[in-house]
Amino acid sequence: MKKKILMLLLTVLFAVIATFLIIELMPGDPVEVLAREMVSTQGIPYDEAYNRAVMQMNYNPDMSLVEKIVSFCKGLFDGELGQSLKYKTDVKDIVLSALPWTLLVTGISTILAFVVGISLGMVTAWKNSKKLNLLLDTSASILGAIPEYIIGFFLIMIFAVNLKMFPTKGAYSTMVEVGFNWGFISSVAKHAFLPIMAFFMVNVVNWIVNMRSTAVGILSEDYIQYARARGISNKNIIFKYVGRNAMLPMITSLATTFGLLVGGSPLIENLFSYPGVGYYLNNATANRDVTLMQGMFFIIIITVILCNFLVELLYGFIDPRLKRKGRS
């Protein structure tokens, strides 16, 4: 466990430094961008605007690259992510307000796609119908080739524009009182439905196909034939023998899929104007808001790394072989 925690911390440190370097080495000077914005909006001289921009960004142009990295990491350790250049507020506050919405839509869609996918995957593996397999393979190929924002666009056209069933902007209606009440909960559910469905449709067929392929391989094992010969019911064979063993590689893919959804959230969240991490990351990139970009990249990286770490721990509980290996 100590080695795992040490590797977790080293991975986080490496990811943070890599993120800082990628953004730091991007072309253009964010301080100059902010200074020119001050000149145009406030009508002050450029030198004064540049000095204000340096103070606002807590940026020292005379610092070396190593000193900048150390200062950035120290700020993260102290919980200070800087101030957003676009929104004129602390990045930490933006992250805390945006992260729950991203976790809501990506979490629900991932769990829903996982449960539906592995359930249908086991059933299709047991049935082993050529027509059904062809349908699944074709669906997976088609959905895999369609970008997720195109799927989101069609959902908007069908359910929002034509049927007018769901809204397409914000996380909830401004007309409801925020709190634990039915009006707020139902408004959140309506606003989250289309983003969840977009993420769900992108992933569910892949789960079905992957689970089916894994389960088909397990069904050909000798111990499955032995279980059938002993007269064990099909239900027990599917869930106790096939399901549990086929689930093991699926568990490791779960964290990867969730990470891809969180990392790929800018497209969907921007399409639905859903105020999650991806939405603010997209705005930060468009407006060259370096501090906000760093904060959003940081929270995405931490989320993905923690998910992989938790799934690795869960995998150890599910697979008895890892427990025995750890004892030995």
* Ordered structural domains, the chain, with CATH: 1-80 (no CATH), 101-318 (1.10.3720.10)
Helices 182-219 and 91-127, packing angle to 10 deg: 40
Cα angle 201, 283, 152; round to 5: 20
DSSP character for 63? S
Full-model pTM: 0.83
The C-alpha atoms of residue 285 and residue 153 are separated, in whole angstroms, by 22
83 φ, ψ (degrees, to nearest 5): -110, 135
> Which residue blocks in the chain are alpha helix, DSSP H?
2-24, 30-42, 46-56, 65-77, 91-127, 130-145, 148-155, 182-219, 222-229, 234-236, 244-263, 265-271, 277-286, 290-318, 320-327
The CA-atom distances, in angstroms, between 113 and each of 11, 197, 200, 205 are: 28, 10, 6, 8
Q: What is the pLDDT of residues 13-67, one digit of tens each?
A: 888 888 788 777 776 677 777 788 788 888 888 888 888 877 776 666 677 878 8
The C-alpha atoms of residue 45 and residue 48 are separated, in whole angstroms, by 5
The C-alpha atoms of residue 82 and residue 92 are separated, in whole angstroms, by 8
Which pLDDT band holds residue 104 (cuts at 50, 70, 90)? very high
Of 294, 130, 28, the C-alpha closest to 280 is 294
Most confident of 153-167, 214-228, 263-277, 304-318: 153-167
Which pLDDT band holds residue 328 (cuts at 50, 70, 90)? very low
Q: What is the pLDDT of residues 193-216, one digit of tens each?
A: 999 999 998 888 888 888 888 888
Q: What percent of the chain has pLDDT over 90?
A: 22
Q: What is the pLDDT of residues 172-191, one digit of tens each?
A: 998 999 888 999 999 999 99
